[in-house]
Structure 1
Amino acid sequence: MPDHPLPVDPDQPISPSTASVLTVIAVGGAIGALARAGVAEALPHPRDGFDVATLVTNVVGSLLLGMLMVYVVEHERGHPLLRPFVGVGVLGGFTTFSTYTVHTRGLLGHDLPLALVEIVAGVVLCLVAVAAGVALMRRWGPR
């Protein structure tokens, strides 16, 4: 272990303790996972159908992550624990690349066109959402 803690967020001058960082990530992750479960309950899909819930969570999470990064990095706003809490915890627990890949892999065996749609839609829409989040925060975010 180094004599001094490594910075949690290189964009923030204050470095909180490791315990506080792990705590906010865990609490944020629980919140995000519960929110994702709520979306999955609200938007169920058949096992062999298009997974709208996962697409929605990943796109919304990407949008919010783009906004968060501009807020924290470019506007230099927020508490030093904001990025670990929201970015790693809440949005890390909310978005789910693993569910996306497992479901798509399952589709590959019996519905190749739908699997390809899910792959392309997930990647493209999430990239567009990040760019939109960045653009929105740059245009209407705090100055």
Structure 2
Amino acid sequence: MRMYWWVALGSGLGGMARYGCTELAAAWLGGAFPWGTVAVNVLGSFAIGFFAAFSGTESRVNVPAEARVFVMVGLCGGFTTFSSFSLQTLELLRDAAWLAAGANAGGSVALCLLAAWLGHASAAALSRVPRGR
């Protein structure tokens, strides 16, 4: 039951961070394109890729299971917005904004996969146990 509390806490904090980021992006860049959603999905993808490699079994960092659940399921799950992304893309399609919908869908998927890979590669490079020790 303790793990569920870690997920709940992380999800709440991640959701609050998502709301703040999307509001900030809309204030800075306008609301015609969902830049905030793209940004949180890319940042969240980087974070989950980084933390997965940084705290994984081949890492030199020993992270308790509670911390992994808090960050990866809670924070990242609450922070990233795939459901928001889907609805916003649907709304762009319904408004016949074909190019924007395609850019949002294709760009989000490509950028999030790249960010997850960069996060994973960054943490793997940082957490490799040096040879000969």
TM-score computed with the length of structure 1 as normaliser? 0.82
Alignment match of 1:41 (pick from 15, 23, 37): 23
Q: Deviations over 1:26-64 (max 9, x none)?
A: 000000000001101111142xx2211000000000001
Instruction: Give the C-alpha shift of residue 117 in structure 1.
Output: 0.5
Q: Which residue of the partner structure matches residue 10 of structure 1?
A: none
TM-aligned CA distance change 1:72 to 1:140, over 3 Å: closer
Q: Going by fraction, where is helix more abundant, 1 or 2?
A: 2
Aligned pair count reads 123
Q: Deviations over 1:74-126 (max 9, x none)?
A: 31620111111000001100001000000000101220011000000000000
Question: Any residues of structure 2 matched to 1:1-143 within 5 Å, and which?
Answer: 19-44=1-26, 45-46=30-31, 49-73=32-56, 74-75=58-59, 77-109=62-94, 110-141=96-127, 143=129
**Secondary structure of the corresponding residue to residue 140 of structure 1:** helix
* AA partner of residue 89 (structure 2): T
TM-score computed with the length of structure 2 as normaliser? 0.88
Distance 1:20 1:86 in 2: 15
Instruction: Give the C-alpha shift of residue 142 in structure 1.
Output: 6.0
**% same residue:** 31
Structure 1: runs of 5+ lacking an equivalent: 1-18
Moved over 3 A (4+): none
Greater length-normalized contact order (CA 8 Å, ≥ 6 residues apart): 2
Distance 2:19 2:51 in 1: 22
Distance 1:35 1:142 in 2: 30
**Superposition RMSD on alpha carbons, in Å?**
1.2
